[in-house]
Amino acid sequence: MLAVLLLPLSFANLYALETGDSVETRYGAHIDAEDWVHFAVYAPDATAVDLLLYADAQAVSPATIVPMRRHGGDWRIKVRGDGAGAGLFYMYRAAGRNEVSVEDRYGHMFNPNYPVNDPYAYQTRNVRYSAFFTGPPWVDASAPVYAGGGKSLVYDHSTDPHPGHVRIAPQDLIVYELHVQDYTARLQSLTPGLRGTYVGLATGGLTTPGGLTAGIDHLTELGVNAVELMPVMEYDEETGNAADRLNHWGYMTANFFAPEARYAHAPGRQVIELKQLVKAFHDRGIAVFLDVVYNHTAEGKPWVQDGRLAAKCYNLRCLANIRTYRATSDGLFFWNATGTGNDVSFIGPDDRYTKRLVNDSLDLWHRAYGIDGFRFDLARILADGSDSAADWIDNDARFNAAHLHAEPWDNGGVWWDFMDSGPWDHRNNRWAKWLGRYRDKARLFSSSALQDRRAFKQLIEGYGSVSDGYGAPASSRPWRSLNLFAVHDGYTLRDCTVYNDSGGSHNCWDSGGDENLRRERAKLLTGVLLTSQGVPLLLQGDEFGRTKAGAGEHAHNTYNYESVSGDAAVNHVNWLDWRLKDGDNSESPEGPVYGTELFHWTRALIGLRKRWGHFRRAEFARYVRDVANGAGNDGRFTYTWEGPGTGSPSQLAVIWWGQAGEPDLMVIYNEHWRAFDVTNLNQWSQGDWKMLARSWFADEHDFCDPAQWQTACPDAGDRIRVKGRSLAILVSDND
């Protein structure tokens, strides 16, 4: 049965609108071949749901209201008419029980005075608190408080060019974490209007003030083959901030299918511009991962103000509150293992709505945007209380080619062997996980404070998250461990050599104020990372000494260092200073003057890692003891020198015996502040060892060209002295 609604002439070009019952089972808004727009939303506990259609982006009141029809737990309707298609602005409102109070804050929270956007919308206007609400959003509001922002738009992905995909074996990944705005916001060679945008990040041909490669081409020059974009799903930047501050990093997702609007160069073009960015990376052979936040939403927890209960309703809360969020055991409050006060619940069967929402979202980003992998924020939430852990994600065939990387902790604990214990390992899932323990131990090693040879061996062998004894990996394959020494929510590499860690959780040391020691420690840490088995993860700018020291005591946590008023002292904390790559710290005086050297060192290590397979084994390498010259031990490894044991700084040398067609590589690590000598080099090769790299040497002398190592690299002789807190890499063809 069809109905014809006569609409006001002010409703753009919509003069007459047909409506009808929809059989569309996909949530969101979808256009069919007959120009019907089908709307479907999940609200099983509502007593009525209306579709609200708006004349323009800022309209506060709908131009028309279309009652939707119940289909089980879903509500559906289809509309057709002039203007009903791509670009149509819409919202929902739902009626039902409102059973929350100051004393009991968890329960049904329906209020038809709250227009909400579509949780499955493919595009939205920028969603932020002040755009959505004219005042405190009281849960018992008797009049609308909608301010006109954050609307959903009908979008048709089928008409866009597809960015394709880049396929990289998991053991070959070299991942680079970056923030869309931070990366180009201070890049002077980029047109000001493009800085901090999707288009700006996709722009090639940019240079530093000193004329070196910058922007996206810098990543090609560096040699990384995967970028991990910090959150680019639509989020509320006004959530949880001090005066004149925005929530900068993006971990307050409001819509899981729509790209963040404020990173668009041209308003309303965020979908196509993000796809263009992905294509630009793919054209350079770089895979694209998204940092995804499914464990909580921007709606946060309810709060008490002036004796009344208030709660943000952007979408899920006023559509399916108890179906989305997890209650405390007494049923009065929202569970809070995320620290945000509104943990999404995934407890229950695999057809639960929240699990479908996550998998539908992942499918959309993989299929329509060409996203090659995902990093899951606080992924332990996704598995907590579920009989299948997070296998319900891995088993979805729609994105079975995508890499899955987990942050395996939350406020409730740590799961180091995430998807690698019980019935799960590399044979039945592709999950990998971040290794915070790798960061902690590597930082201690660089300050001579680890003093645990066995623990350090675990790092370089790919067993970085072991907690129950050497030889019992928390990862069933090396590539299931993502190694890191710095990421966004902590000190940068530079800052960890400048700050002391008074809290005991960051393992940072100021290097006694010795700037040369800071240089050597930075190169040591980078060298350890890129000669370890497992997948290396680099933080944006660490390769040339980026610092967040402008935040002072907050340098380890700069989530809200973005100024509403444009205060440069605030913004420059997170925005990359590309002068540091030139060796110019004039605008970042807390930064180093050796940025060019550190970049060259990092690039050379990445090139070595990619040239041969020594440091990127698909499986754990087999250890062989006391086998001089490596005969018959291709692909294995041997410790040829081991200094002090537990309680003293470690000194050791390891040979990674080359596979067919590869030379042998010896890496010598010195945790001690004093130099030491390896005196038995001639016992470990039938040929001559050549000096490939020495971290304590200066730029242009610290690394020999691996492509010409047999003729260009100096002889090591029978012995080598390795400076304190340094490493050396030797190479031999063993002939």
- Region 31-54: mean pLDDT is 98
- Bridge partners, 52 (sequence order): 65, 91
User: Which tens digits make up the pLDDT trace of 174-198?
Assistant: 999 999 999 999 999 999 999 999 9
Assess if residue 95 is contained within a domain: yes
- CATH at 644: 2.60.40.1180
pLDDT surpasses 80 at 630: no
pLDDT at 628: 66
User: Which tens digits make up the pLDDT trace of 708-732?
Assistant: 999 999 999 999 999 999 999 999 9
pLDDT at 645: 83
Assess if residue 569 is contained within a domain: no
- Region 225-235: mean pLDDT is 98
Of 159, 189, 220, which marks where a domain is finished?
159
When divided into structural domains, the chain yields a total of 2
What burial letters (b/e) apply to 565-591, b meaning 16+ CB within 10 Å? eeeeebbbbbbbbbbbbbbbbeebeeb
Residue 596, helix vs strand vs coil: helix
Assess if residue 716 is contained within a domain: yes
Q: How confident is the model at residue 735 (pLDDT cuts 50, 70, 90)?
A: confident
Look at 344 and 684; give whichever has higher pLDDT: 344
Q: How confident is the model at residue 8 (pLDDT cuts 50, 70, 90)?
A: very low
Of 120, 137, 159, which marks where a domain is finished?
159
Assess if residue 613 is contained within a domain: no
- Region 403-422: mean pLDDT is 93
- Region 374-388: mean pLDDT is 94
Amino acid at 638: T
Assess if residue 48 is contained within a domain: yes
- DSSP labels for 11-74? STT--EEEEE-----SSEEEE-TTSPEEEEEE-TT-SEEEEEEESSTT-SS-SEEEE-EEETTE
- Region 630-650: mean pLDDT is 87
- CATH at 150: 2.60.40.10
Assess if residue 91 is contained within a domain: yes
User: Which tens digits make up the pLDDT trace of 328-379?
Assistant: 999 999 999 999 999 999 999 999 999 999 999 999 999 999 999 999 999 9
Average pLDDT, the chain: 94
Distances (CA, A) of 20 to 1, 31, 37, 48, 227: 6, 14, 10, 17, 45
Q: Indicate the pTM of the whole model.
A: 0.96
User: Which tens digits make up the pLDDT trace of 441-484?
Assistant: 999 999 999 999 999 999 999 986 655 455 567 889 999 999 99
Of 131, 159, 187, which marks where a domain is finished?
159
What percentage of residues in the chain have a pLDDT greater than 70? 96
Assess if residue 61 is contained within a domain: yes
Residue 123, helix vs strand vs coil: strand
Please, is 45 exposed, middle or buried when counting C-beta atoms within 10 Å of its C-beta (0-12, 13-18, 19+)? Answer: middle
Distances (CA, A) of 438 to 419, 442, 486, 726: 18, 6, 10, 18
Q: Which range among 135-144, 448-457, 462-471, 663-672 shows the weakest confidence by mean pLDDT? A: 462-471
Assess if residue 693 is contained within a domain: yes
Domain with 105 in it: 3-159
Q: How confident is the model at residue 6 (pLDDT cuts 50, 70, 90)?
A: very low
pLDDT surpasses 80 at 286: yes
